[in-house]
Amino acid sequence: MKRVGIVGGGQLARMLAMAGRRLGIRCEVLDPAERPCAASVARHLRGDFDDLQALDHLVEDCSVATFDFENVAVGPLAHLSQRMPVRPPPKALAVAQDRLEEKRFISELNIPVADFLAIDRREDLDAAVDRLGLPCLIKTRRFGYDGKGQWKLRERADCDAVWNALQGTPAIAEAWVPFKRELSLIVVRDARADHRLYPLTENHHVEGILCYSLAPAAADDALRLEAERLAFRLADALDYVGVLAIELFEMDGHLMVNEIAPRVHNSGHWTIEGAHCSQFENHLRAVTDLPLGDASARGYTLMLNVVGQWPQREALLACAGVNIHDYEKSAREGRKIGHLTVCADSVEELALRSRALLTAAGRPALWENLQPRIKALQGQR
Ligand SMILES: Nc1ncnc2c1ncn2[C@@H]1O[C@H](COP(=O)(O)OP(=O)(O)O)[C@@H](O)[C@H]1O
Ligand SMILES: [Mg+2]
């Protein structure tokens, strides 16, 4: 039986392991937590991500290694890659985990990104205000997620406070992008350079955390083609194997890349029920050299994240067509502890099911935000 080693044992590893079970692929997760949430469905090897002895165990037990989050140190993974295939390649991780490297890499491929500037000294903040204008965003180069490690500069007087908050951490400044909407694109590529592309997904964030995803997003052929081209260019340039997620801003009918994630992605959770082959299954297929699966959508899907605490289960389960994904994580403010999906064959049915789901999840006010997006889907297919 094939075994895949996963560095990291969070919900992404958990959903990979669950997809693996159906394919006859076992997963083993390396995680320092006593009981990471993937441990109920995968073998758990307890150890730090850069624990060389623990990594040796992965070499013994598994035929290929992958990772479920970005902040794994590249050094130990590169070391691991001398002894077993590590997919995606550590180079992709190195690029994605440093916002400055990431922006440089993407813009060198002639793919648009927000104008940016490295922030290493106090005076760089003034230079950023001069060049990028206000407002602009300051983000730490590394370790940010769910909007953490970011500050909005609204006026020049904010520079001191942001500089103090940074405490010398290397950062970048980014021009503020007045986007029309946020989209994401998930591509899977195998070692033979075969690709499959999931449909564009529309995402709504609240306070830097993904709130819901709607898939497929309303998009014309030109936008789809632009997305497809940039996804292939990025994946090819990284010699990528596995699932690559690309976060996008849409501006005046064109796309700009916000960031890339060298892994399965929250905005692709809808693919479990909503696509013929999920992002999790396709990642495993790619890294184990199995043929890639069909990435097309089955219909329309809404994915709603469960953040902080669970809404009442009975109300959720009473919703037609609801799928509950509980990561078995303890409740904590701002923490993603599960997600919910509803699928439908028609836009009208998706509207009904989504509205009922939002109400049951205690988020009825979100309907106002979602409704126009669902409406834009009408007449698309
Ligand atoms: N340059 C920008 N202009 C406007 N909004 C932005 C910009 N960068 C990020 N955001 C908003 O903040 C969210 C989180 O930022 P992101 O860079 O994706 O960091 P994270 O790693 O936390 O996901 C984005 O999804 C978007 O809503
Ligand atoms: Mg992001």
Residue nearest to atom 21 of ligand 1 (CA): 145
Q: What is the pLDDT of residue 177?
A: 97
pTM: 0.97
- Of the listed ligands, the closest to the CA of 150 is 1
**Positive or negative CA dihedral for 280, 286, 288, 292?**
positive
- Of the listed ligands, the closest to the CA of 148 is 1
Q: What is the pLDDT of residue 2?
A: 67
How many angstroms separate the CA atoms of 208 and 148, rounded?
A: 7
Ligand 2 center to 212 CA (angstroms): 13
Q: What is the pLDDT of residue 230?
A: 97
Q: What is the pLDDT of residue 381?
A: 55
Ligand 1 atom with least separation from CA of 174: 1
Q: What is the pLDDT of residue 379?
A: 73
Q: Give residue ranges with CB within 6 A of ligand 1.
A: 114, 137, 144-147, 174, 176-177, 182, 205, 208, 247, 258-259
Domains of the chain: residue spans and CATH: 2-86 (3.40.50.20), 115-175 (3.30.1490.20), 181-375 (3.30.470.20)
Q: What is the pLDDT of residue 232?
A: 97
Question: Is the CB of residue 247 less than 8 Å from the CB of residue 231?
Answer: no
How many angstroms separate the CA atoms of 303 and 280, rounded?
A: 16
CB atoms within 5 A of ion ligand 2 belong to: 247
Q: What is the pLDDT of residue 380?
A: 77
CB 299: neighbour CB atoms within 10 A? 17
| Residue ranges in the chain modelled with pLDDT below 50 | none
**Best residue among 151, 179, 258 to mutate for probing ligand 1, ranked by most atoms within 8 Å of CB:** 258
* Residue partners of 339: CB distance under 8 A and separation at least 6: 266, 269, 303, 304, 305, 306, 325
